[in-house]
Structure 1
Amino acid sequence: MFVRIQAILICLVCSVVAHSQVTVTGEVLDAANAQPLNTAVVEIRDNNTQKVLQRLNTDASGKFTAQAATELIVVEISFVGYKPKTIKKPKITGQQIDLGTIVLSKSEVTLEEVVVRAEKSSTEFKLDKRIFNVGQDLSSTGMSALEVLNNVPSVMVNIDGQISLRGNSGVQILINGKPSVLADESSNALGTITADMIERIEVITNPSAKYEAEGTAGILNIILKKEKSKDLNGSISVNTGIPDNHSVGVSMNRRTNKFNLFTQFGLGRRSLPRYNSGINRDLVNNTEILTDGVNYRNEKFYNITLGTDYHINDLNVLTLSGSFAYEVEDQPSETNYQSFENNNLVAAWKRNEVTEATNPKWQYELNYERQFKDNEKHTLLASAIGSFFGKDQSSVFTNRAVTGTIDENDQQANTDFKEANYTFKLDYTKPLGEKFTIETGTQYLMNEVGNDYEISDLLEGAWVPNPDLTNNFTFDQKVLGVYGTGSYEADKWGIKAGLRVENTDLVTLLETTNQGNNRNYTNLFPSLHTSYKISPEVSLQLGYSRRIYRPRLWQLNPFLSLRDNYNISTGNPELDPEYSDSYELTGIFKVGKATLNSSVYHRYTTAVIEDVSTFENNVNTNKPYNIGTRAATGIEINGKYDPLRWLTFNGDFNFNIFQRKGVFIDRNFDFNGQQWSGRLTSKLDLPADFDLELSGNYRSGFESVNAVNEPFAYMDLGVRKKLFKGRIIASAAVNDVFASRIQISATNRERFYLYNRGYRGRFITFGLSYGFGKGEAMTYSGGRRR
């Protein structure tokens, strides 16, 4: 604390030396009755840069006194419900600027038309969502959308820009209720959106029937203000790291009266090692295979995004955007094998992999939004999104004996993978008076995949295709959804009910064997949400929704990459989807400088998809199956606490007990268990514009149908230094400081024992970024596009 006070004193002394202090005084009164306006907002800005030099409130007598380090200032006085007043280049006498009496007149618009902006950001419940209103305490700071998100309860953004909701990643981010390339976490495009552009952020943890029934960790919807400033915002960043992690990224956003133009492009390369070891033990024949090695994924990547919002008029907006990414992969890996019989070493060999791949990807979006004159919430939204991902990959596996003799052929794998996705969506919202609202809409999803996979063995110096491991698998899934919701919302209480109908048409085909598996099924997904505001500090929300998890391509495809002949993963085309009923009671409590969100939940899932190991000749094969039910009841707590202006604590805790019931091949898998996870992050604003972030994470061990997973803990560290008033930011981060994020699992059956251990190790990164316009300098992570 002494160091901080000392730094502040030094800054004050330097300020006095560099500038002549100016004292600004005045009195704010109501023009109608000459009564003082208590807590009116007074902002003093630099006339050249428009930077806020000081913000304060008037006292009970309507008076204020402020200090400015420059004579060239602009003073703006505002009060909710009154017309603001701006005073440019006020007269100075000596070192004193006396503004005298300033009168504010009430706004002529009716109360129903006034958009009330809180001076301080606040959170409130609205039926199936929580709304974080961005107040002037954040909107005038110049911070980016990522930093605004980090102020939202339950939301965490680490120094690398990774976003999580209630401790879970996989969050869907929307801009004005629709997908946007600006919301792509793999770029720094969100850095071009500044706090003064954001009206509010909607947090949805238990989505209603309006949203597709496929589950996510949650939804964050960033609502932008309607006013259209003419600012150019942007950021340029350069990064390096150990292991190799080098990238350059540029983001820009330009707003005019008619257009909002945005672009992002980047390039880089990185190396992602993973260390693995394992045991395959046959308890009947007393044989085992030991493995250990390291797998690398070296990448070069290039990507570009370009898009625009075209404001046709005040009621119609058209958005068109597209992105392209291209990756070049190289995967040099080596694994050591040892074979034992009756605890005696029989053979040892090395298996080397050389893999090369190219991955093109592009995406395009077209959105149209229509707002009707009768009510700003009366809207029509139509969107079309298309995307493509391809992978042309070749791998060569060679085996070299170290001890003894081996019967392992060299192998070659070739993959031609193509995936196309299309989404068409139409949403209509109609308020019926002040308290009732109806919503309806439809969505059509198309997912088309082809995976042509061939394995060849090296026999007598020639590559010979292996028909047992070669096939072309096609996957064609179409989902049509239609929904309707109705809601009633009063000042303190509200209720929202909805129903979504989804028809799924899935066709898979193994072309070599002509084995097809066609599924067509229709499901109902109801939802019900209610909220009650007990007081400004305490609110409750109760929700129910039914969700679905459809098997992914890699879970259905019986032919997957063969990296390790003794540990094989394969899909199951007979898989059925999982269905979950989710009940959740959530409360938000504000106590002083702390905000606490607490949820009690119960989730019941049927046809649970689990990987199951089968063992033969020391070869372990993992294959997914639908096995019984899972009932989980738990509590989730998220909190933010700011004990000091320069210190923030953010914590997440999740604990649940679960009950598994199921039978697989005459084996009973009924058991009870529990698991929990926690994270505590501290952020410190240090002197000289240094920021320090420490994040500790823990995941408990837990049991699944297939294995027992051991617990692990790890810590991340980051430091950031702002230069030139935040225009340049230098950052450094260490992920997994102690290289302790080690994942260990063990399977112990009557006939065999399996052990797997894997970790990525410590990653160190350094970054330098520059922000221009109103854009804050943001780190470009160059994240993978898939």
Structure 2
Amino acid sequence: MRFSKHLFILFIFLYCSTLLAQSKEISIVGILVEEASMQPIPYATIALFKNDSKDIIGGTTSNDIGEFELVTSSTNFFIEISFMGFKTKTITEFKIQNSKINLGRIKLSEDNEILDEVVVQAEVSKTVFKLDKRVFNIGKDISSTGASALEVLNNVPSVTVNIEGEISLRGSAGVQILINGKPSVLADESSNALGTITADMIESIEVITNPSAKYEASGTAGILNIILKKEEKKGWNGSISLNTGIPDNHSIGISLNRRTEKFNLFTQIGAGYRSLPRESSAINTNLVDDEVIYSDGLAYRDETFYNITLGTDYHINDLNVLTLSGNFAYEIEDQPSETNFRFFDANDVLQSSWLRRETTEATNPKYQYEFNYKKQFANNDEHALILSALGRFFGKDQSSQFENITESGSDVDSDQQTDTNFKQADYTFKVDYTNPLSDTYTIEVGAQYVINDVGNDYEVRDFDGATYVVNQDLTNNFEYNQKVLGVYFTGAYELEKLGIKAGLRLENTDLSTLLTNTNDSNAQNFTNYFPSVHTSYKLSDNMSLQLGFSRRIFRPRLWDLNPFFNIRNNFNIRIGNPDLQPEFTDSYELTSIYKIGKTSFSSSLYYKKTSDVIERVATFEDNITTTIPQNIGTNGSIGFETNGKYSPSKWLTLTGDFNYNYFDRNGVFETQSFDFSGRQWSTRLGSKIGLPADIDLELTGRYQSGYETIQGEVSGFAFLDLGIRKKIFKGKAVINLGVRDVFESRISETNVYQPTFETYSFDQRGRFVTLGLSYGFGKGEAMTYSGGRRR
């Protein structure tokens, strides 16, 4: 009996121990890495399955550095790890020690067959019309490649990104880049910030060549708006870049981007030195006295530069995002130059020759900061309110010494000094509200206020043999203040194939300039209306049409208005005109996009009518040519443009564009008629060739025809750019070799023909060779970084 009792107690003890053992949880941990590069694999799936029934027990995903932890109370299971593009790994053997399974570092190998299937079967990137813009939707044929945003842009029709990261639209630079419809430090083309955005983060790219009333009326080459996906857990992205070149072009750049559920943190740090040589020459011919002055010289702009960018996107919740960012840059300039002059009389006899030597030093601090708040509404992703504020500052403290050295003939020694204290502050405040009232109706309303505040204190001193005396005729202190207030409203009606959008923008410009040393002031206040109408029609899956009209304005810039004398060459002077008025352009455009086999085209017919055209007019006195901008008449331009992209195979992509326009000028200035007509055309042909060993070769040839001006002509030129890129370490590192203007044929020549004088000017930059190495870490491949300074 006693034995039976002890046996029963022992049985109960063992049973309870077994239950306790079964209910004790087991922790499973490990780190996932790529077998080839040993880089971490974030967001892979780790799942537990029952050994007998194959039913799933539980699962998790790896974090942004490849680590994972999974807890289970089961002991009869196997582990399966999967991630797109990699072979699935099954683990059936493991040890449990102290209620923990430590799998250590788990290597996943790439599955090339699966990757190929994804590219073939997945959604293909394509372009569609959306009334006032074209939208390039990013398919998995691009998003799964790990490319940077710059490489994605290079796949967009009408957009070209060269080997150094310079972006152009329809062959024109000066493109405004937006991120999710707003300005951003990430969109700064001159830094590597765009390189930290990878292809799988991008939803689509909007191409806007004829902006609607929603956008400010001042003209640009166009707008590219990068729409990011709402996925937030993207982990670390970054790159380190080293660059060198001839002429001197050396830099280092570090870019980092960290995306979490709540934050997107980004930074970019860069430093470098580069030299920009410029060769120039000029001939001033006095047809009255038959005297000629020749000048030729070489000038350098040597720069040491530093910059740092910091910013964050804070996702308050799924519907509210706050962005704060800032950038600071500092440049140290040295501008040595030498110009040789020769003066010949009417008998072609040399009367004198001299050398003008310049030594210029300058420091340029600059910074910008931005605040953006975006609120989306739950009823529709497109229903949004955006508030933004952007501030910029640029300063220049410059001093120059000019020395004239007589080499033969008459004494022309005339030493001079200049000092420049320049400060510019710009502020932009915006509010934009978009509301899709239904599937077919959408309204947009908003306002923008821009403040430009500039001061340029410029002093010239002449050497009188003993001291330097201020030259009051050339010295000025110029103050420029411009405020532009704009409000707009647009309404859109859009069906599956047909859509129309109309809008009106009202802008008030308050501009004032003041020459403090002479108390000459100029105040302008004007209000203008800028209507826009766009319509699109989808003929088929392979062809769509878009028709648009907009009115634009070009406001004179600071240096167009400032009566500032550049005395580097005393016989060829450019100054500004404080009385200059803005020019207005009515732009009409019919555009089509269509596909023929593997080729995609975009073609446009356009007409532009511009009033109060700003032209640079040359005058001649005492053998000195003075060029000043003036408002002269109207210009009507009709043209045709087409561009295409053809990819006959994976290793070859051909791109090209052609632009032809005929213009008719009408105007009178100081009783002289400037009525004439002319034509101008340009073309670009590019090829990207995939060579063995993961090498890409890029060749881009351009030709710009000559054209007539109101007083003469500008000659044409052709040039070739070359780029070679080699990927190493599975694309984690990239070596770039770029050669701009391979044959040194990019030459600017301008002739002015007038009854009493003729002038000729020549300008050339020369060949530039750059070599860069970039290493990328985190998701995606290495990001190309040109090492360029902030322009």
Under a length normalisation based on structure 2, what TM-score does the superposition of the two structures give? 0.86
For residue 370 of structure 2, give the secondary structure of its aligned residue in structure 1.
strand
Match of 1:207 in 2: 211
Distance 1:358 1:118 in 2: 52
Match of 1:139 in 2: 143
Distance 1:255 1:678 in 2: 41
Distance 1:497 1:454 in 2: 50
Deviations 1:735-761 (A, max 9, x none): 000000011111111100100011011
For residue 555 of structure 1, give the secondary structure of its aligned residue in structure 2.
helix
Deviation at 1:417, TM superposition (A): 0.2
Closer, same or farther in 2 for the Cα pair 1:46/1:646, shift >3 Å?
farther
Deviations 1:357-382 (A, max 9, x none): 00000000000000111211110000
Distance 1:341 1:87 in 2: 86
Deviations 1:126-182 (A, max 9, x none): 000100111111111100101111111111111100101111110000000000111
Deviations 1:38-83 (A, max 9, x none): xxxxxxx999999xxxxxxxxxxxxxxxxxxxx9973669xxxxxx
RMSD across aligned positions (CA): 2.2
**Contact 1:46 / 1:72 at 8 angstroms: preserved in 2?**
no
Deviations 1:655-696 (A, max 9, x none): 000000001111111011000000000000100000000010
> Counterparts of 1:646-665 in structure 2 under 5 Å?
646-665=651-670
> Which among 235, 257, 262 is matched to residue 239 of structure 2?
235
> Counterparts of 1:198-597 in structure 2 under 5 Å?
198-342=202-346, 343-597=348-602
Closer, same or farther in 2 for the Cα pair 1:746/1:91, shift >3 Å?
farther
For residue 400 of structure 1, give the secondary structure of its aligned residue in structure 2.
strand
Distance 1:118 1:779 in 2: 27
**Contact 2:711 / 2:753 at 8 angstroms: preserved in 1?**
no
**Contact 1:46 / 1:73 at 8 angstroms: preserved in 2?**
no
Mean Cα deviation higher: 301-310 or 726-735: 726-735
Deviation at 1:119, TM superposition (A): 1.1
Match of 1:713 in 2: 718
For residue 159 of structure 1, give the secondary structure of its aligned residue in structure 2.
coil
Distance 1:157 1:489 in 2: 32
AA of the residue aligned to 1:121: S
Closer, same or farther in 2 for the Cα pair 1:75/1:772, shift >3 Å?
closer
Aligned length: 694
AA of the residue aligned to 2:125: S
AA of the residue aligned to 1:741: R
Deviation at 1:444, TM superposition (A): 0.1
> Counterparts of 1:119-198 in structure 2 under 5 Å?
119-198=123-202
AA of the residue aligned to 2:163: I
AA of the residue aligned to 2:705: S
For residue 418 of structure 1, give the secondary structure of its aligned residue in structure 2.
strand
Is the aligned partner of 1:617 residue 2:626? no
Deviations 1:631-672 (A, max 9, x none): 000001110000121000010110000000001111111011
Distance 1:671 1:583 in 2: 22
For residue 376 of structure 1, give the secondary structure of its aligned residue in structure 2.
strand
**Contact 1:391 / 1:417 at 8 angstroms: preserved in 2?**
yes
Distance 2:746 2:596 in 1: 35
Distance 2:510 2:565 in 1: 23
Distance 1:75 1:387 in 2: 44
Distance 2:443 2:147 in 1: 36
Distance 1:689 1:118 in 2: 24
For residue 688 of structure 1, give the secondary structure of its aligned residue in structure 2.
coil
Structure 2 gaps, min length 5: 1-60, 67-78, 94-120
For residue 268 of structure 2, give the secondary structure of its aligned residue in structure 1.
strand
Deviations 1:567-595 (A, max 9, x none): 00000001000000000000001111100
AA of the residue aligned to 2:267: T
Deviations 1:198-225 (A, max 9, x none): 0111110000000000001000000000
Match of 2:740 in 1: 735
Match of 1:773 in 2: 778
AA of the residue aligned to 2:652: L
Distance 1:204 1:680 in 2: 22
Distance 2:568 2:64 in 1: 62
Distance 1:482 1:406 in 2: 61
Match of 2:109 in 1: none
Under a length normalisation based on structure 1, what TM-score does the superposition of the two structures give? 0.86
Deviations 1:221-271 (A, max 9, x none): 000000112410001000000000000001110001100000001000011
Distance 2:780 2:308 in 1: 19
Closer, same or farther in 2 for the Cα pair 1:88/1:492, shift >3 Å?
farther
Is the aligned partner of 1:783 residue 2:788? yes
Is the aligned partner of 1:89 residue 2:90? yes
Closer, same or farther in 2 for the Cα pair 1:87/1:72, shift >3 Å?
closer
AA of the residue aligned to 1:745: T
For residue 414 of structure 2, give the secondary structure of its aligned residue in structure 1.
coil
Distance 1:75 1:773 in 2: 16
**Contact 2:354 / 2:412 at 8 angstroms: preserved in 1?**
no
AA of the residue aligned to 1:319: T
Distance 1:164 1:598 in 2: 17
State the structure with more CA Rg. 2
> Which among 673, 679, 682 is matched to residue 678 of structure 2?
673
Identity of aligned pairs, percent? Answer: 64
Distance 2:444 2:65 in 1: 45
**Contact 2:371 / 2:390 at 8 angstroms: preserved in 1?**
yes
Distance 1:732 1:262 in 2: 27
> Which among 76, 79, 82 is matched to residue 74 of structure 1?
82
For residue 576 of structure 2, give the secondary structure of its aligned residue in structure 1.
coil
Distance 1:223 1:730 in 2: 29
Distance 1:210 1:757 in 2: 41
Distance 2:162 2:83 in 1: 36
AA of the residue aligned to 2:90: K
AA of the residue aligned to 1:244: D
> Which among 688, 691, 698 is matched to residue 686 of structure 1?
691
Distance 2:294 2:580 in 1: 32
**Contact 2:374 / 2:384 at 8 angstroms: preserved in 1?**
yes
Match of 1:744 in 2: 749
AA of the residue aligned to 2:320: N
For residue 381 of structure 2, give the secondary structure of its aligned residue in structure 1.
coil
Distance 2:153 2:91 in 1: 37
Deviation at 1:407, TM superposition (A): 3.0
Distance 1:558 1:641 in 2: 49
AA of the residue aligned to 1:143: A
Distance 2:412 2:189 in 1: 47
Distance 1:684 1:74 in 2: 34
AA of the residue aligned to 2:242: V
Distance 2:660 2:169 in 1: 16
Distance 1:337 1:576 in 2: 36
AA of the residue aligned to 1:264: Q
**Contact 2:368 / 2:391 at 8 angstroms: preserved in 1?**
yes
**Contact 2:64 / 2:236 at 8 angstroms: preserved in 1?**
no
Deviation at 1:775, TM superposition (A): 4.3
Distance 1:264 1:532 in 2: 43
